[in-house]
Amino acid sequence: MKRKEVVVIIVAVVVLIATAIVLWPRRYEATFYPMGGIPFKIVCYGRNMFQFDGDLSAVEDVVTKLEGVFNRYRKLSEISQLNSSAAVAPVAMSSEFARAFALSQHWYKVSGKAFDPTVGPLVGLWKEAGQSGILPTPYDVQKVKELVGLNGIAISSRDRILFSKQGMSLDFGAIAKGLIVDEAVDALKNRGVGRGVVDAGGDGYAFGDGEFRFGIQDPTAGSGERLLGTVDVMQGAVVTSGNYERYVEIDGKRYSHIIDPRTGYPVENALVSATVIGGDAAGADALATALMVLGVDDGISLLKNLGDFEALFIKKIGTDYEVYASEKLAGRLRLDGEWATRRIEEF
């Protein structure tokens, strides 16, 4: 064989291998940070490199679009604009906003008002208290609490929303990450992805055949530093709500970022985290926050009424922790390290 022919064959083989690498369907994974510091992880199975590139952009588009709807801390977001004008005149909702509102209404009713999307003014009050270091008086809390409750909101037949009092505000913080994950999953499915996982910093959803293993954040460690263990799930959501990351400190005492809308005060029930397994990500997100408000006993009653969800609670007792888990999780939940030595109370 001439030298030239050898070179041609080598080049052809290299091109073939490179093409196979790019076009061969396999598992792809990527993490990006579109929402502050929250890692947004996407896993797609059976995709080639070009397809996955498109999958990633589709998810990025969804996140960008919905951030512009739900982010209360952006002045020009739909929720910010609506909050600043819906007490003056009815404001039209986008279809995404209307869907979030309808879902929130559902979880408000189901959770006995533990999950309440109108909790905004109380969230603001406690955020300010954290910044100033001064506790609000019971009178302040009572006054602000009067602005909270879905009975203060009217919806017209044309999806227009009206607040009954100046100062009311919506806050989708307890459901928005789940909504974004669900929309990202829809976008992937529409692109033909048959199996995958979307996880926005502890709000995860897996779809397609077979089992998926989710890590559950250790509530006693810093964000993403250590896992408490893992849970194996078929299609569905795994969402954790916790007090370990976001809280304010006033006079040396920690106050949760989750508020009990029924009292007006940050929750104080020894729960450090609640993980919900099942359903869609938005529902699991709302439910996980509701469980944090309700505490273990009322939380278990709610779960038993709902039927379709499993959960894991971590409660702090003095310096120790108690673990409560749905009995259906037996064999699928694996606790690591020190957690493995603790007894699991099944319900």
Question: Does 243 sit near Mg ion (CB under 5 A)?
Answer: no
As given in the structure block, the two tokens for residue 185 are 């999953």
Among 289, 303, 313, 326, binds Mg ion (CB under 5 A): 289
Q: Which has the closest alpha carbon to 40: 215, 240, 187, 200?
A: 200
As given in the structure block, the two tokens for residue 194 are 């048959």
Longest dimension (CA), the chain: 94
Q: Which has the closest alpha carbon to 203: 172, 177, 185?
A: 177
Look at residue 279 and give its three-state secondary structure. Answer: coil
For residue 276, the minimal CB distance to Mg ion (Å) is 9
State the pairing for strand pair 344-346/320-325.
Answer: parallel
For residue 221, the minimal CB distance to ligand AMP (Å) is 17
Question: Does 259 sit near ligand AMP (CB under 6 A)?
Answer: yes
For residue 296, the minimal CB distance to ligand AMP (Å) is 16
Question: Does 104 sit near Mg ion (CB under 5 A)?
Answer: no
Looking at residue 30, its amino acid is A
For residue 166, the minimal CB distance to ligand AMP (Å) is 20
Question: Does 129 sit near ligand AMP (CB under 6 A)?
Answer: no
C-beta closer to ligand AMP: residue 193 or 271: 271
Q: Is the distance from CB of 122 to CB of 168 less than 8 angstroms? A: no
Question: Does 174 sit near ligand AMP (CB under 6 A)?
Answer: yes
C-beta closer to ligand AMP: residue 103 or 197: 103
Q: Alpha-carbon distance 14 to 19, whole Å?
A: 9
For residue 289, the minimal CB distance to ligand AMP (Å) is 4
Binding mask 131-150 for Mg ion (x = CB under 5 A): --------------------
Buried b (16+ CB within 10 A) or exposed e, 241-272: bbbbeebbebeeeebbbbbbbeebbbbebbbb
Among 71, 217, 289, 326, binds ligand AMP (CB under 6 A): 289
Question: Does 171 sit near ligand AMP (CB under 6 A)?
Answer: yes
Among 285, 291, 323, 324, binds ligand AMP (CB under 6 A): 285
Q: Alpha-carbon distance 215 to 227, whole Å?
A: 6
Look at residue 161 and give its three-state secondary structure. Answer: strand
Q: Is the distance from CB of 125 to CB of 145 less than 8 angstroms? A: no
Question: Does 241 sit near Mg ion (CB under 5 A)?
Answer: yes
Q: Alpha-carbon distance 340 to 4, whole Å?
A: 64
Among 174, 237, 290, 323, binds Mg ion (CB under 5 A): 174
C-beta closer to ligand AMP: residue 170 or 185: 170
Give residues in contact with ligand AMP (CB under 6 A): 115-117, 119, 123, 171, 173-174, 241, 257-259, 261, 285, 289, 292-293
Give residues in contact with Mg ion (CB under 5 A): 174, 241, 285, 288-289
